[in-house]
Amino acid sequence: MGILTVANLGKSYPSAGHPLTVLKGVNFDITAGSSVAIVGPSGSGKTTLLGLCAGLDRSTTGNVVLNGVDFNNLGEDERAKVRNQYVGFIFQNFQLLPTLTALENVMVPLELRGETNIKARSLALLDKVGLAERANHYPTQLSGGEQQRVSLARAFSNSPQILFADEPTGNLDTETGEKVEQLLFDLNKDAGTTLILVTHDLELASKTERIIRLKSGEVWSDEPIALQHGQ
């Protein structure tokens, strides 16, 4: 059984008095340890799908089962607990807590778990992303690339089983983007984490094992990368 199962997933929002359907009938199953890219044009429902898969929002239809836990059966707090236990996040706009230093940002998921002696582990992660020297800097004192590297360290701090990355290089220049990209795949490989990557960058998507294409809220194609390359 996969780590993430999405069955008949649908989401609509009220818009001008009528429901606006963003996702409909989405089905897929993701194996633990694999890497998957969700691609599609703007407005195709990529980020909505990622939010539903991570339990950040409630679906209108269907269900999401993460590591054997059906989100439909959980309240807000229970879903938060699941995220804290199994999930790591990387966002396009980094989403660091501006009032915390780089080190404190990395420590947050562990703090929320109530773990102790976490400073050394968090510093080690910052060291892995090359930012041990800047541990006490606030996000505003870091460049975009540095902020995304802190975000990477934070995503791996709770040793997640699944990592959701939403356009992780979207706000970075090519050179920095490539460095962050490399770091993301290296850390993922070392930790054996499942990676769900949302992007419209086909080159980045091609580095994963499988690509799910979305179009107008529906799965248009879902193929392993080898098939896409015509192998």
Please report, as ranges, the residues that interact with another protein according to CB under 8 A. Answer: 51, 54, 56-58, 76-77, 80-85, 87, 89, 95, 97-100, 108-109, 111-114, 138, 140, 144, 154, 158, 171
Nearer to another protein, 108 or 125 (CB): 108
CB–CB of 162/194 below 8 Å? yes
Nearer to another protein, 100 or 191 (CB): 100
Give least dist CB 30 to another protein, A. 20
Nearer to another protein, 168 or 210 (CB): 168
For residue 32, report the phi and psi dihedrals to the nearest 5 degrees: -60, 140
Give least dist CB 166 to another protein, A. 11
Give least dist CB 64 to another protein, A. 13
Nearer to another protein, 176 or 216 (CB): 176
Provide the 10 A C-beta neighbour count for residue 15.
10
3-state secondary structure of 161: coil
Give least dist CB 191 to another protein, A. 17
Q: For 169-178, give one letter per residue: b (16+ CB within 10 A) or e.
A: bbbbeeebbe
Give least dist CB 49 to another protein, A. 11
Give least dist CB 160 to another protein, A. 10
Nearer to another protein, 112 or 124 (CB): 112
* Distance from C-alpha of 48 to C-alpha of 170, rounded to nearest angstrom: 17
CB–CB of 203/189 below 8 Å? no
24 closest CA partner among 57, 54, 55, 59: 59
Nearer to another protein, 13 or 220 (CB): 13
Alpha-carbon separation of residue 217 from 43, 142, 197 (angstroms): 8, 36, 17
196 closest CA partner among 25, 31, 24, 42: 31
